[in-house]
């Protein structure tokens, strides 16, 4: 079985009022989609573009289970998780350019 990096991530909007928990195999591409509002849904509706937490695994099933588990947590518990990696709630997504334009 091929291993593939999977990311579980948490986004918020710029005033930290709402949170979104997602999973993806390509975090850079997915963040580009979120920040440019290319996909209809929750993140577009509430302008949720600020990456405040992520973790990765090579097990897609584990990533999906982790996403589901975090989604079921209270806001306080999600906040505490974010603060383990990002106590100042900085935007961790630095790349704003189209990932398909990268060389290499």
pLDDT tens sequence across 72-101: 999 999 999 999 999 999 999 975 554 444
Return the domain boundaries, the chain.
6-96
Q: Which fold has domain 6-96?
A: GIY-YIG endonuclease (3.40.1440)
pLDDT at 26: 96
Cα–Cα distances in angstroms (integers) from residue 81 to residues 15, 20, 54, 57, 75, in the given order: 18, 13, 10, 17, 10
CB within 8 Å of 64: residues ≥ 6 apart: 6, 23
pTM over 0.85: yes
Strands 50-57 and 19-24: unpaired
Angle at 5 between CA 103 and CA 90, to 5 degrees: 75
pLDDT at 65: 98
pLDDT at 96: 55
């Amino acid at each position: 079985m091929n291993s593939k990096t999977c990311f579980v991530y948490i986004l918020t909007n710029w005033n930290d009022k709402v949170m979104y928990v997602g999973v993806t195999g390509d975090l850079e591409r997915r963040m580009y989609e979120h920040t440019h509002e290319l996909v209809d849904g929750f993140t577009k509706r509430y302008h949720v573009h600020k990456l405040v937490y992520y973790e990765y695994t090579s097990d897609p099933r584990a990533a999906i289970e982790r996403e589901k588990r975090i989604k079921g947590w209270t806001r306080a518990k999600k906040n505490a998780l974010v603060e383990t990696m990002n106590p100042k709630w900085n935007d961790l997504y630095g790349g704003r350019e189209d990932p398909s334009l990268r060389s290499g």
